[in-house]
Amino acid sequence: MAVPASPGAPAAQQCSDEPRDLPVHQFTDHRELGVELARIERVSGGAVEVTEVGRSNRGREVWAARVGTGPKAVLLTSEIHGNEKTGTDAIVRLLDWIGTSESAKAQRWRSELTIVAIPKMNPDAAELDRRGNDMTWDEVTARFPQLRGSEPAWNYYTEPRQGDDYSQRPGFDVNRDYNPDLGYEPRPEDFPGSSAETGWFITPESRIVRDVYLGLTHEFGKVDTYIDLHHQGACYVMPDDPDEFVTMSISGKFVDDPASTPGYERYAAGYDLDYSKRLNVAAYHALQGQANDNPLFGNITLYPQDINLPGTGLGTFALNGSGAVLFEVRGQTQTLGQQYRAQLTRTVYIGLDGILSALATGRVDQLDPAVYDSIPPRGPSIGSTAVRATALER
């Protein structure tokens, strides 16, 4: 089996997106996350407040950590797909710094921003190290009796996928379970649905994030920024240099313009694609600024822009007026395992730092959204299972 090359190694080396059973124990698991969040809350003297905001389908705690008292609300989420783990590690490190540093920068963040992070928002999937959560259609219909007799949702996994056998433990892709109507309740006529349509809030995990978002909206009037941390295939290369792997792809565009999309017109007034673009530019500039020290941080591309996914958290919250940012780090655990964990986690950290710094200083409003359109597009995948990898990301 071909072994993926390191992030900075020439891509001419073989690369594979074929699922394999690889070590992941260095990543933060659910128990370790609880211990670490409790430690951060304690050493920060309460500057970081950790609360349980809900339970997963299998009863695991979902925690939110809040820091700062500023007027801009920022929501961060990671591990909606349980095999995409660097975001959780980056968030934990960021919370530790924000909560304990007495630097002028940290003090400014705390005074200008209110940051709420939900690391490991899908702990059942994370513990199984797979994309989908751990939930059967029978459990859905037990919670929502009105759906009895309906065809299961299109994003319900019941067959082998990405190296995991969902026939024994079915589950849902939680990142297709959102709906821009934040008060929506499941209706049988909306199933099975499709990728181009909205979701239904049938999973506990999506409902938890929805409820946190609603709470922040009621408190602040709106959630200024939403950032969701993901992974993509391991074998994408830079468009102008096929010997260099893409370290991370970023995006601010997840849905078609609601002003010209039938059925979505009511979201047009709040939708601000240019603001999402400026947030992404802040991340891009921060990473490019570190490329002299490590060229890996320069291999940043734009995620494909030809997508319309209103059933994702990013699509839903962008339609509700939040600036939105997607990070897609190189390689999921079934292709890279914990290889390059430190470098890839650092990539996420730098990108988040760039966005939060731009928000705290107000510099984000001076950034040119046109720079976003000049970010190089993601190059092709040279992986041996490229079609499968493309189909499974986002």
Within 13 A of 247's CA, how many CA atoms are on the CB side?
25
Which residue type occupies 271?
Y
Q: Is residue 139 part of a domain?
A: yes
Q: Is residue 10 part of a domain?
A: no
Q: Is residue 7 part of a domain?
A: no
Q: Is residue 16 part of a domain?
A: no
Predicted local distance difference test score (pLDDT) of residue 10: 61
Q: Are strands 72-78 and 113-118 parallel, antiparallel or unpaired?
A: parallel
Q: Is residue 288 part of a domain?
A: yes
Residue 261 has pLDDT above 80, yes or no: yes
Rounded to a whole number, what is the largest CA-CA distance in the chain? 59
The band of 393, judged by pLDDT with boundaries at 50, 70 and 90, is low
Tell me the per-residue pLDDT of 164-211, one tens digit each, with 9 for 90 and over. 999 999 999 999 999 999 999 999 999 999 999 999 999 999 999 999
Tell me the per-residue pLDDT of 104-143, one tens digit each, with 9 for 90 and over. 999 999 999 999 999 999 999 999 999 999 999 999 999 9
Following CA atoms 334, 340, 342, 345 in sequence, which dihedral angle do they give, to the nearest 10 degrees?
Answer: -50
Quote the mean pLDDT of the chain. Answer: 94
The band of 394, judged by pLDDT with boundaries at 50, 70 and 90, is low
Q: Domain with 61 in it: what CATH number?
A: 3.40.630.10
- Cα–Cα distance measured from residue 279 to residue 252, given in angstroms and rounded to the nearest whole number: 8
Tell me the per-residue pLDDT of 341-372, one tens digit each, with 9 for 90 and over. 999 999 999 999 999 999 999 999 999 999 99
Predicted local distance difference test score (pLDDT) of residue 385: 57
Q: Is residue 19 part of a domain?
A: no
Residue 6 has pLDDT above 80, yes or no: no
- The packing angle between helices 86-100 and 30-43, to 10°, is 10
Q: pTM of whole model > 0.85?
A: yes
Tokens of 256: 């078609």
Residue 302 has pLDDT above 60, yes or no: yes
Residue 390 has pLDDT above 60, yes or no: no
Which residues are CB-neighbours of 369 under 8 A, at least 6 positions away? 273, 274, 275, 277, 278, 281
The number of domains in the chain is 1
Sheet architecture: strand order including 113-118:
48-55, 61-67, 113-118, 72-78, 225-232, 323-330, 248-251, 300-302
Tell me the per-residue pLDDT of 37-67, one tens digit each, with 9 for 90 and over. 999 999 999 999 999 999 999 999 999 999 9
Structural domain containing residue 179 = 30-392
The band of 14, judged by pLDDT with boundaries at 50, 70 and 90, is confident
The band of 2, judged by pLDDT with boundaries at 50, 70 and 90, is very low
Nearest by Cα to 149 from 196, 185, 184, 187 = 187
Q: Is residue 274 part of a domain?
A: yes
Residues counted in the chain: 394
Q: Is residue 97 part of a domain?
A: yes
Within 13 A of 166's CA, how many CA atoms are on the CB side?
21
- Cα–Cα distance measured from residue 385 to residue 2, given in angstroms and rounded to the nearest whole number: 12
Q: What is the mean pLDDT of residues 271-299?
A: 97
- Cα–Cα distance measured from residue 37 to residue 59, given in angstroms and rounded to the nearest whole number: 18
